[in-house]
Chain A
Amino acid sequence: MSTIEIRGLTFTYPGAREATLRNVNVTFGEGDFIALVGNNGCGKSTLCKTLNGLIPHFIVGDMSGQVLVDGRDTKELEIGTLAAKVGYVYQDFENQIVCPTVREDASYACLNYAMKDYQEKGRKALTVCGLSSKISDYVWQLSGGQKHLLALAGMAALSPDILILDEPIAQLDPAHADGIYEVLKKLNEKYNKTIIVIEHHTEYIARYCRNVVLLKNGTVKWKLPAEEAMRRVDELQESNIFPPQVTIAANRMVKEGILPEETVLPVSIQEGKEIFGPWIKEKDQKRRNSEVKKKDEVMASFQNITVRYRSVKGEAPKILDDFSLDIRKGEKIALIGSNGAGKSTMLKLLMGLVHPESGTVKVKGKPVRNMSKEELGHTMSLVYQNPEEMFIKDSIRKDIEYAMKVRKIENYQERTEELLAMFRLSDLADRDGRLLSGGQMRRASLAIGIALNPEMLLLDEPTANLDIATRREIMRTLQMLKGITDTVIIATHDMQLVCDWAERIIVLSAGYVIADGPREQVFSDMYVRGQVGIRPPQIYDMGRGLGIVDSCFTIDDFMDHFRDRNREENREKDRGEKYA
């Protein structure tokens, strides 16, 4: 078993003016389950790359200090030797998979290091990661979550003592995210591996991790047991990490004097029940549920749609089966459901990218089939899940103006400047979109999407892969889209986005609409929740757990039940702060 000791580590990338890591001192004990947290660009990934020897053996830079794995300096060890001790799963894990089939990829590293039983090792790793039924599949047949497990299996096959995962659940629905963490837990507890995760989702940290390391500006600020770490609410928020909602709620309630000063902040719903329980003032405030306002003008409609995918082998699977739905003007719709439920297919049908086997899709009363892509482009705009695919020019400015320029819209330059300013991209206008950070790329892709003032905007996973601070920023951007673009459909796994923004929620499961309505109705339906693995924000479950009758979707909703009625004005004030 291995321990990692880092002593006085400083690292500067070649050409960079400032050091990325500064005088890092930390020890990772064997068999630990550690979360590495910190805001974007604080050096988390760089630190991990020093552990597996990529730094300094592969990425050359200015490095001082020592990284000791099992007491041996990584500078003196070869990458091959280190790879057998430290496994690394990238954030863009897809690019880490290099073989066409699952079986080959799992055993690839073992084969390269000439281990006689490489196939056996690969098979074993797949079994541990729960992929044994997929062993003869091609990689492209796997879903996103399964690919992630495969990348993990490919690393686990070498049976390293330490496994590092960079944001393992960023693109997954809650059910798949649980799956990944259960595998990690098993590797940690049963096989005694040290697990290091870079993670933004604090609920998972509280549930699975033992220790937390906070990195700030390239140095380790502290290393603490997970529960204690989560209670440092203010410090975490400074670094754009948002502790579990129950913890934030309790922290604010202590500050407001609702809870006593010496309260130990809860980090899970279980703890929350004991701590909040005695202080509830009112369980039913008879708050009005939000309703879907019936709007008349139908913007788009699906009529008895059946879609099959072209299959490579055998019977083509049905994605949607006799599917009907109306979308009205002015609706804010969230489309949720597990990976592969048909969300993206719905968006593609609207854009005329997929044609149904039977049935008609109409946009503004006209069948999509009879409209050209360019005509559709006037009414609707689709922002892809992967913003890189929207950058077709070599600078953001050119990308934003392209559609207006070729349509010879007057004053297109002015409008471009406006959009750049609106999305705070003016300083970056001449840079290639691909070279921006995740949040900037996402903002740029939204700006491109609304350049032509489409009446309807379709967004595919607009907050995937973003940290929580950037996600909030995207949400604020969505609030700005008032005026011409008033019909918006978002396909997403991000339940916080759904709760804060959507007026109508459509739940898809295996090609059927299994729920359609406002958030209270959808989330209170236990059947729906069980079917698709959707999970409301933690605070909602906390409220339910305490027997609160109203649905709490935000921390403020929740806190209201602990306040005196006459402090309503306080609440209004807090609302204001939230969006500030």
Chain B
Amino acid sequence: MHKLTENILDKLTIDYLRNQVLKNAYGNDDTVIAKLDPRVLLIWYLFFGLVPWFLNDVALLLGLFLFVVMTTRAARIAPLVLFLFCVGVFSQTGYLFIVALFFGGNAETIAPLLVMTLKVAVVSLASITVFSGLDPDRLANGMLWFGCPGQLSFSISFAYRILPVLMEEFQNILLSFRLRGNPPQKKTFIGKIRYLGYQIKMIIQSFYPLMLNTAKRSRTTVEALELRGYRYSLQNPEVKRMKLAMLRVTRQDMIFVVISIIWVAVCVAISAALQDML
């Protein structure tokens, strides 16, 4: 048991979290999903992110759920994100589902809960596929095409650049606190709670130096952006056209769309057939 907790604690370091975030952001740029045209995916998301809310048929939702599970798999999402997804879904509705089962709920009480859980799950997984599986830069370009302002798409792309830098800096600042700090004893139960409180306080305090350091480094960034013509690009429609010129709908996109349509159609047909049988 001791070994096990040690093992888990070993894994759950800031370093591990950092690696997971990096993996998610940069490690899956060669998947099928990442290579799709962002505009196609955004439209695809419009369907999978909205329509499930209006469906109440378990079979149909289950079919959609299976499909987004496959797209999530194809996008090679980092385990941490999936874990957070599971926690999220469970905390939304899943626990009610289990509680209902526990107190002898029958099919009638469980069915609506199952529907709700499935709805949340489908929408979340679709979001994860699009926003996490797609290279943020391509995502930004897709949004630019749909008329989002250039500042927004630049912010996404810049965040993508600066993220690893910030995470490393945060890690180092947190470490400064840990090495110089003096945490409460954690032998007793109350001590453990105090220790946890201390850790949380430290994490919160670490954000202040991080912000100040970021403010300091942004002075150069702002000047460099000016020199590199960022302001011009916002005023010049030609730049936007050039940026978007590389977006192209390919055969792969068509195949993806066709598969999605067929899958949904089959699901609808099956659920209709099941309804008829009942």
Q: Which A residues fall within an 8 A CB radius of B?
A: 52, 54, 58-59, 79-80, 83, 88, 90, 92, 94-101, 104, 108-109, 111-114, 116, 118, 138-140, 154, 310, 312-313, 351, 353-355, 373-374, 376-377, 381-382, 384, 386, 388-392, 402-403, 406-408, 432, 434, 448, 452
Chain A residues near B230 (CB-CB < 8 A):
98, 112
B10 at the interface (CB under 8 A from A): yes
* Chain B residues within an 8 Å CB radius of A92: 217, 220
Partner of B229, one of A109, A373, A386: A109
Chain B, residues 105-124, CB within 8 Å of chain A (1/0): the string is: 00000000000000000000
Q: Is the CB of B228 within 8 A of A389?
A: no
B180 in the interface (beta carbon within 8 A): yes
Q: For B159, give the chain A residue with the smallest CB separation.
A: A100
Q: Could you say which residues of chain B place their CB within 8 Å of the CB of A374?
A: 178-179, 181-183
Known contacts A111-B239, A112-B228, A140-B165; A403 and B180 CB within 8 A of each other: yes
Question: B233 is contacted by which of A112, A353, A354 (Cβ under 8 Å)?
Answer: A112
Q: Is there an interface contact between B212 and A432, defined as CB atoms closer than 8 Å?
A: yes
Q: How far is the CA of A78 from the CA of B224 in the complex (A)?
A: 15
User: B160 in the interface, Cβ–Cβ < 8 Å?
Assistant: yes
Residue of A nearest to B246 (CB): A119
Q: Give Cα A90–Cα B226 distance, bound, in whole angstroms.
A: 13
A340 to B197, CA, bound (A): 37
B233 & A312 in contact (Cβ 8 Å cutoff): no
Complex contact A390–B16 (CB within 8 A): no
How many residues on chain B are close to A (CB under 8 Å)? Answer: 54
Could you list 20 examples of A-B contacts with CB < 8 Å? A54-B223, A95-B217, A95-B219, A96-B221, A98-B228, A111-B242, A112-B239, A113-B232, A140-B164, A310-B15, A312-B26, A313-B26, A377-B178, A382-B179, A384-B172, A384-B176, A389-B173, A402-B181, A434-B212, A434-B213
B233 contact set on A, CB distance < 8 A: 111-114
Given A54-B223, A83-B227, A114-B236, answer yes or no on A355-B10 (Cβ-Cβ < 8 Å).
Answer: yes
A-B pair number, CB within 8 angstroms: 149
Nearest neighbor of B183 in chain A, beta-carbon distance: A374
Residue B94 CB within 8 A of the other chain = no
Q: In the complex the two chains form, is B227's CB within 8 Å of A88's CB?
A: yes
CB within 8 Å of A: which B89-104 residues: none
Partner of B239, one of A90, A114, A376, A377: A114
Task: Chain B residues near A139: list those with CB within 8 A.
Answer: 161
- Flag if A116 contacts B176 (CB, 8 Å): no
What is the CA–CA distance of A2 and B160 in the complex, to the nearest angstrom?
37
Q: Is B238's CB within 8 Å of the partner chain A?
A: yes
Q: Give the Cβ gap from B72 to chain A, nearest Cβ, in Å.
A: 19
**CB closest chain-B residue, reference A99:** B161
- Complex Cα distance A226/B49, Å? 67
Decide if B227 touches A406 in the complex (CB within 8 Å). Answer: no
Among B157, B181, B227, max chain A CB count under 10 A is at B227
A118 x B172 contact (CB < 8 A): no
Q: Are A108 and B228 in contact, with the CB atoms below 8 A?
A: yes
Task: Chain A residues near B84: list those with CB within 8 A.
Answer: none
Query: Shortest distance in angstroms between A341's beta carbon and chain B's nearest beta carbon?
Result: 19
Produce 1/0 per residue, B163-187, CB < 8 A to A.
Answer: 0110001001101111111110000
Alpha-carbon gap, A59 to B221, bound state (A): 14
CB closest residue in chain A, given B6? A369
Query: B210-253: contact bitstring with A at CB < 8 Å (1 yes, 0 no)?
Result: 00110011111101111111101100101100110000000000
Contact B220 A116 (CB under 8 A): no
Distance to closest chain A CB from B252 (angstroms): 19
When C-beta atoms are compared, the residue in chain B nearest to A381 turns out to be B179
Asked if B263 is at the interface (CB within 8 A of a chain A CB), the reply is: no
Cβ-neighbour of A54 out of B169, B179, B209, B226 (below 8 A):
B226
Whole-angstrom distance between the alpha carbons of A100 and B216 in the complex? 20
Given contacts A83-B227, A384-B172, 5 further A-B contacts (CB under 8 A): A96-B220, A98-B224, A114-B238, A384-B176, A389-B176
| Identity of the chain A residue whose Cβ is nearest the Cβ of B154 in the assembled complex | A98
Q: Which residues of A contact B158 (CB under 8 A)?
A: 98-99
Answer whether residue B151 sits at the interface, using C-beta atoms and an 8 A cutoff: no
Question: CA of A312 to CA of B218 in the docked complex: distance in angstroms?
Answer: 27
Interface residues of B in 198-217 (CB under 8 A from A): 205-206, 209, 212-213, 216-217
In this complex, what residue of A is CB-closest to B243? Answer: A111
CA distance A182 to B226 in the complex (A): 28
A389 x B23 contact (CB < 8 A) = no
- How far is it, in angstroms, between the C-alpha of A402 and the C-alpha of B173 when the chains are bound? 14
Q: Is the CB of A79 within 8 A of B227?
A: yes
Give chain A residues whose Cβ lies under 8 Å from the Cβ of B173.
Answer: 389, 392
CA A90 to CA B172, docked complex, whole Å: 24
Give Cα A94–Cα B217 distance, bound, in whole angstroms. 9
- Distance (Å) between the CB of B83 and the closest chain A CB? 17
Q: Does B271 contact A (CB under 8 A)?
A: no
Q: Are A390 and B176 in contact (CB under 8 A)?
A: yes
Compute how far the CA of A355 lies from the CA of B16 in the bound complex, rounded to whole angstroms.
Answer: 12
B63 at interface by CB-CB < 8 Å: no
Asked if residues A392 and B216 are in contact (CB atoms below 8 Å), the reply is no
The 10 closest A-B pairs by CB, nearest first: A112-B229, A403-B180, A112-B233, A95-B220, A96-B224, A109-B228, A140-B164, A389-B172, A406-B182, A310-B19
B residues in contact with A140, CB < 8 Å: 22, 26, 164-165
Which residue in chain A gives the minimum CB-CB distance to B27? A312
Kindly identify which residue among B19, B223, B232, B242 contacts A58, using a CB–CB cutoff of 8 Å.
Answer: B223
Q: Note all chain A residues with C-beta closer than 8 A to B216.
A: 388, 434
The reply to whether A79 and B181 form a contact with Cβ atoms under 8 Å apart is no
Q: Does B57 contact A (CB under 8 A)?
A: no
Minimal Cβ-Cβ distance residue in A for B218: A95
Chain A nearest CB, measured from B130 CB (Å): 18
- With both beta carbons as reference points, the residue of chain B lying nearest to A309 in the complex is identified as B19
CA distance A355 to B178 in the complex (A): 17
Tell which of A94, A100, A154, A351 has the most Cβ of chain B within 10 Å: A100
Chain A residue numbers with a CB within 8 Å of B178 are: 373-374, 377
Cα–Cα distance between A154 and B178 once the two chains are bound (Å): 39
One of B157, B169, B182 near A389 (C-beta < 8 A):
B169
Residue-wise interface mask of B (1-42) relative to A, using a CB-CB cutoff of 8 A (1 in contact, 0 not): 000000000100001100100110011000000000000000
| Closest residue of A by beta carbon distance from B175 | A353
The answer on a CB contact under 8 Å between A95 and B221 is yes
Tell me which residues across on chain B come within 8 A of A390, comparing CB atoms.
Answer: 176
Chain B residues with CB below 8 A from A354, complex form = 15
Instruction: Pick the residue among A116, A313, A377, A452 that contacts B27 (CB under 8 A).
Output: A313
Q: Taking each of B23, B219, B226, which has the highest tally of chain A beta carbons within 10 Å of its own beta carbon?
A: B226
Once bound together, how far apart are the Cα atoms of A388 and B176, in whole Å?
A: 11
In the complex, how many angstroms separate the beta carbon of B202 from the nearest chain A beta carbon? 10
Query: Are A377 and B232 touching (Cβ within 8 A)?
Result: no
A464 to chain B, nearest CB (A): 16
Q: Which of A83, A100, A114, A391 contacts B161 (CB 8 A)?
A: A100
A142–B23 Cα distance when bound, in Å, is 16
The answer to whether B172 and A83 touch across the interface, beta carbons within 8 angstroms, is no
Whether B238 lies near A388 (C-beta < 8 A) is no
A100 with B239: CB separation less than 8 A:
no
In the complex, chain B residues whose CB is within 8 Å of the CB of A154: 228
Q: Which residues of B contact A402 (CB under 8 A)?
A: 180-181
Write the nearest CB–CB distance from B23 to chain A, whole angstroms. 5
Task: Compute how far the CA of A117 lies from the CA of B187 in the bound complex, rounded to whole angstroms.
Answer: 66
**Bound Cα distance from A116 to B238, whole angstroms:** 10
